[in-house]
Amino acid sequence: MLARPYLTPSELGIDHEIFEGLLRVRDMLRTGELEYRPPRSTKTTGRGFNMTFWECGTVRCIGGWLHEMGALKIHPRFMCYPRSMEPLFLACTGGWEGEPRSITAEQAADAIDRWLCGDPTPHAPR
């Protein structure tokens, strides 16, 4: 089965820098450069990933790593990112009303790929 093509940055409602940043974060998640850290992890070395943290020391979410790399200019903690990106962030944090929940690095990488292909619910179980 052929992979679905990605939408363009303009079709996704983001700029080219964010698009490239998402590809880099996805690759970092897939290669283990960003490793999943469960909530309350005591590990403080390396680069951690957890969708329940915007930015907490060495642990960040997708938006936190985009910000760290300079691809997202406005701090994601204040929910200032292109509105078209909401499904990528809110689905795994419980949305505006839900309880925060985390996803693994592999699930996050897959969600980035699905969102870049135009999937409006990138975190839905497959």
Dihedral of CA atoms 36, 54, 125, 19 in degrees, nearest 10, equals -100
Tens digit of pLDDT for each residue in 5-59?
Answer: 999 999 999 999 999 999 999 999 999 998 888 766 767 667 888 776 655 556 7
Query: Tokens standing for 89?
Result: 């962030």
Residue 40 domain-assigned?
yes
Residue 2 domain-assigned?
no
Residue 36 domain-assigned?
yes
Residue 29 domain-assigned?
yes
Residue 74 domain-assigned?
yes
Residue 6 domain-assigned?
no
Task: Look up residue 3 and give its amino acid.
Answer: A
Structurally, the chain folds into a number of domains equal to 1
Tens digit of pLDDT for each residue in 55-109?
Answer: 555 677 888 888 888 877 765 555 567 778 877 776 555 544 445 566 788 888 9
What range defines the domain where residue 26 resides? 14-116
The model carries a pTM of 0.79
pLDDT at position 96 is: 43
CA distance 113 to 78: 24
Residue 121 domain-assigned?
no
Residue 35: closest CA among 20, 23, 75, 43: 43
Residue 85 domain-assigned?
yes
